[in-house]
Amino acid sequence: MIESLIAALQLTTTFEVFIAIVIGSFVGIIFGAIPGLTYSMALALMLPFTFSMQPATGISLLLATYIGGMTGGSISAILIGIPGTPSAAATVADGYAMSKKGEASLALGSAVIVSTIGGLLSLIVMILLVDFISKFAIKFGPAEIFMLVLFGFSTICGLAERSLFRGLVAGVLGLMLMTIGLDELEGTSRLTFGNVQMLQGVNLLVAMIGLFAVPHILEVFHQKLNNEDKENFNIGDVKTTLPGFSFIKKYFNLMLRCTGLGTSIGAIPGSGGPIAAFLAYAHAKNSEKNVEERAKFGNGNVAGVVAPETANNAVTGGAMVPLLSLGIPGDPATAIILGGLLIHGIIPGPMLFIENAPAVYSIYIAIVFSYVAVFFMQVNFIKYIVKILKVKPHHLACGILVMVVVGSYVIRNSFLDVYTMIFMGLIGYFFNRIQIPVTPIVLGLVLGETLESNYRTAMSLSSGDITIFFSSVTTLLFFSLIVLTIALQVKTRVLDIKKQKTILQENE
């Protein structure tokens, strides 16, 4: 372990990694802070840059972008009352109220310090859990892995958005896209229409760039062409005032509880920051015994900033647990990070600890460095960061347009990828309009190969006997969980419909 740790330190304490973390944190904060841009988009745009980097540098860039994005969402939530990311939505109520009372500096300072503490505490939990789960998962055979991935997939489709079936449509579409190209097991072409370039299949990164970045560009240009320009945000000079030690002491208990909550929710594939932040906010409010303090929630109570910001940053550690231990990404951001890891030959899963332990420790160290960098930037450069909020969205969209086209090309030096990216962008835009989540498409593309290869390996091992998927306690457990997830979703939907009908009848 010590040897791996030293090797990881050697990999991550280089000038290139330092620069990558600084740039990643900056880009993440900016994309997190600007409403409309997301850190998933930032990650998708940063991916092409990592190809020619060393693995540690590339992964550090992605992790810093992720962490910067998660933390940066609070800036616009506090200063203008619009959350930069969905995860920061719970911060708006009290953060913006503090701003209106002239306490923006304190709100920003509180947010940045609790974000860092929450993130670092969740890292500790993550290290312990990843190790434990990996030791357990290493005994899994193809049938168990198939069932596990299927469970992760059903959870993501079910929990990611409002409708299980719409989530499933997107998930199945992702799996379908994954099957296009060369079948690696038999070496035959699938749905390539005789095109040699199509044998490479739909590239995951190209799909992600298209799905996350293109719909935003289309939306911004559509608004601009319709002369529906959004007004620039009017933000005066701001600075970050860090609260004292007494503040940390006062809220440490709350931070610990919210970290636990955030990490646990983050570890469930398909949940994520917004759920954790709102639950933490509700918890902080309900657990406040002082009636006067409780009444202040929504009117500028600093605990209303502490709880959601701790929880949504703790999600980053939690989301890395299934990613590193099982190779299952929990949200779009970790799916993109998984794509980045795979490019550099780092295959997450239980074997990662045996085959490439320094890579795991490099990830841990990069997360710590990223939090330090984000903290430093938010404290010292906040007045410059908020200036970028004033850039017109259509100017940013022009830059992003060039980036997505060039980024898609450099992945495999193929123009077919550029056209695929545009096509995926159209799908993303259309799905956004009819409220079908795009995250399951990405997860279908990411998990599809594992799902199919393990299914076919298990079937080969059992000579075509499908009962292999129900022959062990583990597979049965995962199967029960899949059924339970779907049943819960269906039950919730049926109850919703009954409620709708009752309201309609009452109105009549």
Partner 1 sequence: MIRESKFYLYLGLGVLAFSLVWLILVFFQIEGNIGSPGNSPRTVPFFLGCCMSILGVIFLYQYYLGYRPKISIKGVQNNEFRNVFFCIIVFLLYAFLLEWFGFLVSTPFILFVLSRFILKEKNWKFNLLFPVIITGSIYFIFIVLLHSTLPRGIFF
Q: Which residues bind partner 1 (CB under 8 A)?
A: 48-49, 51-53, 162-163, 165-166, 168-169, 172-173, 175-176, 179, 183, 185-186, 188-193, 214, 217-218, 221-222, 224-226, 394-395, 398-399, 401-403, 405-406, 409-410, 413, 415, 418-419, 422, 425-426, 429, 433-435, 452, 455-456, 459-460, 464, 466, 496-497, 500
Token output for 480: 């029960």
Helix (H) or strand (E) holding 483: helix 473-507
Q: How far is the CB of 210 from partner 1 (least distance, A)?
A: 10
Q: How far is the CB of 496 from partner 1 (least distance, A)?
A: 7
Q: How far is the CB of 339 from partner 1 (least distance, A)?
A: 17
Q: At what angle do helices 303-326 and 357-380 cross, to 10 degrees?
A: 160
Cα–Cα distance, 204 to 189 (Å, whole number): 18
Please give the C-alpha separations between residue 279 and each of 262, 264, 287, 312, in angstroms, as whole numbers: 9, 12, 12, 10
Please give the C-alpha separations between residue 17 and each of 50, 52, 63, 256, 333, in angstroms, as whole numbers: 11, 13, 11, 30, 20
Q: Considering beta carbons, is residue 96 or 153 the nearer one to partner 1?
A: 153
Sequence-distant (6+) residues with CB within 8 A of 358 are 4, 7, 8, 11
C-alpha 479: how far from chain center: 26
Cα–Cα distance, 302 to 106 (Å, whole number): 9
Q: How far is the CB of 183 from partner 1 (least distance, A)?
A: 4
Other Cβ atoms closer than 10 A to 298: 13
Do 404 and 48 contact (CB within 8 A), yes or no? no
What is the dihedral sign for C-alpha 82, 87, 89, 94? negative
Q: Considering beta carbons, is residue 144 or 161 the nearer one to partner 1?
A: 161
Helix (H) or strand (E) holding 206: helix 204-225
Q: Considering beta carbons, is residue 229 or 293 the nearer one to partner 1?
A: 229
Q: Considering beta carbons, is residue 31 or 455 the nearer one to partner 1?
A: 455
Q: How far is the CB of 214 from partner 1 (least distance, A)?
A: 8
Q: Considering beta carbons, is residue 18 or 221 the nearer one to partner 1?
A: 221
Token output for 499: 């409620």
Classify the phi-psi angles of 435: left when phi > 0, otherwise alpha if psi is within -120 to 50, otherwise beta: left
Q: How far is the CB of 442 from partner 1 (least distance, A)?
A: 16
3-class secondary structure, 327: coil
Sequence-distant (6+) residues with CB within 8 A of 74 are 84, 88, 91, 95, 108, 111, 112, 115, 305, 309
Q: At what angle do helices 303-326 and 332-343 cross, to 10 degrees?
A: 40
DSSP label of 199: G
Q: Considering beta carbons, is residue 182 or 368 the nearer one to partner 1?
A: 182
Sequence-distant (6+) residues with CB within 8 A of 185 are 453, 456
Q: How far is the CB of 51 from partner 1 (least distance, A)?
A: 7
Q: Considering beta carbons, is residue 246 or 505 the nearer one to partner 1?
A: 505
Q: Considering beta carbons, is residue 97 or 482 the nearer one to partner 1?
A: 482
Q: How far is the CB of 408 from partner 1 (least distance, A)?
A: 9
Within 138-196, residue ranges assigned H as helices are 142-160, 164-179
3-class secondary structure, 300: coil
Q: Considering beta carbons, is residue 342 or 405 the nearer one to partner 1?
A: 405
Q: Considering beta carbons, is residue 98 or 178 the nearer one to partner 1?
A: 178
Helix (H) or strand (E) holding 190: strand 189-190
Q: How far is the CB of 66 from partner 1 (least distance, A)?
A: 20
Cα–Cα distance, 296 to 459 (Å, whole number): 60
Q: Which residue in 469, 5, 404, 483 sits closest to 217, CA to CA?
A: 404
Do 267 and 314 contact (CB within 8 A), yes or no? no
Q: How far is the CB of 375 from partner 1 (least distance, A)?
A: 26
Q: Considering beta carbons, is residue 409 or 479 the nearer one to partner 1?
A: 409
Q: Considering beta carbons, is residue 33 or 396 the nearer one to partner 1?
A: 396
3-class secondary structure, 342: helix
Q: Considering beta carbons, is residue 3 or 186 the nearer one to partner 1?
A: 186
Q: How far is the CB of 401 from partner 1 (least distance, A)?
A: 7
3-class secondary structure, 251: helix
Q: How far is the CB of 180 from partner 1 (least distance, A)?
A: 9
Q: How far is the CB of 166 from partner 1 (least distance, A)?
A: 8
